[in-house]
Structure 1
């Protein structure tokens, strides 16, 4: 049986929980030593979309990794922009990400607006907790870090 949609009160509670989790993370980053590069660079709330957060994370193979979290009535949707439409060998890029999708947990590569490549996923609202938020953000970060250089090489170099 499908669970009922979250009530406004439940969504408000989850929204406050996400805000608190992000605030705690930002606080812990500000306490990092001068030689430590913070992972969380910025958190912004979307003014146009209710219950949407925009996270900017520092990367290694890619300077900044952006993640959007959107709390909906039934799910927490998440996505990360990976790269624009490939200019060269789009079939090689498609083959690579389809094979990667087989081993990804909780996310999948897909083609989004403007033929750009995204990582996306959803989690039922009743499963959202701090451990799952850590897993989601950590997984998206690691997938982008692992695949970005290969995707650039496949799609943008001859």
Structure 2
């Protein structure tokens, strides 16, 4: 037995799961799905589900290539891969960060799809601010300073205040925990 299932059968399982989960999605062609996963730190992660000959491919863009500290970011991501379920961090040829994985056709059930989509959302969202701090910290600090000087809103940068706001950063030689 080959373990492969027809695209129409897998599409029916995917459609049922997304409908029951009330997830916004597109189905541009048979065997191809785009699912919007709403987050907290990363407001939306678009996850692609692509039915292949033997497996369902799962792909989600996490962030663009870092401006700085590439090796530190890659280390951070690789250290998490060993503890992740169904997907892993990967990079494309230009260094953009993705979550990717494969599910054998036999494993494509509503329960397993829900688990995998939950994992994608968690991994894309939970460490998003840390990834941005590592890979884009200088740009974020520069943007913070520019907005302060101009009196612009800092609302969408508040998640980075602990490292971007010089009034909240410990001075040189200060203990990282503020001396507590």
Alignment of 1:3-82 (within 5 A): 4=2, 6=4, 10-26=6-22, 40=23, 42-47=24-29, 50-82=30-62
Q: Which is higher, the Rg of structure 1 or of structure 2?
A: 2
After the TM superposition, which segments of 4 or more aligned residues of structure 1 sit over 3 Å from their partners? none
Find the residue that maps to 2:94 and give its secondary structure.
Answer: helix
Task: Give the Cα–Cα distance (whole angstroms) in 2 for the partners of residues 134 and 11 of structure 1.
Answer: 19
Contact between 1:89 and 1:155, CA under 8 Å: does it hold in 2?
Answer: yes
Task: Give the Cα–Cα distance (whole angstroms) in 1 for the partners of residues 112 and 93 of structure 2.
Answer: 27
The TM-score, its normalising length taken from structure 1, stands at: 0.81
Contact between 2:17 and 2:114, CA under 8 Å: does it hold in 1?
Answer: no
Gaps of 5+ in 1: 27-39
What RMSD over aligned residues (CA atoms) do the two structures have, in Å? 1.5
Task: Give the Cα–Cα distance (whole angstroms) in 1 for the partners of residues 131 and 81 of structure 2.
Answer: 14
The TM-score, its normalising length taken from structure 2, stands at: 0.72
1:71: Cα distance to partner?
1.1
Aligned length in residues: 138
Gaps of 5+ in 2: 139-180
